[in-house]
Amino acid sequence: MTQENTQAQDGPGSDRTGRDLDAEHTRPPGATDAEIEAAGAISEALEKVERARGHLYSFHQLIGAADLGFGDGADQLAASGHAELAERLREELIGLNVLAGRWTFQVVEDFDDTYWTTARELDRAVRDEVAGGRRHVFEAEMKQRRRTHGRPGHEATPEDL
């Protein structure tokens, strides 16, 4: 028997070892190891995109706060007799685009509207086609293989507590 068809013999609700999985994370009938691994790889890549998006939003907020801080510093310089230096900050740096023609909110919006949206749509398409729309099937099966069955803290689901 090949690894690919072991699931069919074990039946729905179990991983390749026949152990119980919750329905939300059960491999759909006929799904091969290669398909589940591919869906897992796509899901992991999307998680990295989500992390990158978080960093992009951090960048957006940090640059915005820095711009306000430069404004405060310019005001303080002007108040302490350094009007020319304050004016230079206001003209050259405060409000400066971070990329050609763009403030950070525009970078975030472009990222969200293109790369992030496309990555999410394709992750969903892969899940729908090869994993029956289920998320984290690969990880759920790995959990079943790695946990110590019957040991406290190693339950398959919260319902098993």
What confidence tens digit (pLDDT) does each residue in 16-25 have?
444 567 888 9
pLDDT of 59 strictly over 60: yes
pLDDT of 161 strictly over 60: yes
DSSP designation for 156: S
CB 46 within 8 A of CB 53: no
Picking from 108, 87, 105, 96, the residue whose alpha carbon sits closest to that of residue 67 is 96
For residue 11, being part of any structural domain is answered with: no
| pLDDT for 159 | 86
**Angle (nearest 5°) at CA 150 between 147 and 154:** 40
What range does the domain containing 84 cover?
A: 31-148
For residue 68, being part of any structural domain is answered with: yes
pLDDT tens for 85-124 read: 999 999 999 999 999 999 999 999 999 999 999 999 999 9
The structural domain count of the chain equals 1
For residue 107, being part of any structural domain is answered with: yes
Q: State the Cα torsion 7-8-9-10 to the nearest 10°.
A: 40
pLDDT of 11 strictly over 80: no
CB 13 within 8 A of CB 132: no
Per residue, the 3-state secondary structure of 77-108, as one string, reads HHHCCCHHHHHHHHHHCCCCCCECCECHHHHH
For residue 129, being part of any structural domain is answered with: yes
For residue 7, being part of any structural domain is answered with: no
Q: What is the mean pLDDT of residues 141-147?
A: 93
Q: What is the mean pLDDT of residues 55-71?
A: 98
CA distance 65 to 26: 46
CB 54 within 8 A of CB 108: no
CA distance 124 to 131: 10
The pTM (predicted TM-score) of the whole model is 0.80
For residue 44, being part of any structural domain is answered with: yes
Cβ neighbours around 42 below 10 Å, total = 20
Q: What is the mean pLDDT of residues 40-61?
A: 98
| pLDDT for 23 | 83
| pLDDT for 20 | 63
For residue 13, being part of any structural domain is answered with: no
For residue 118, being part of any structural domain is answered with: yes
Rounded mean pLDDT of the chain? 89
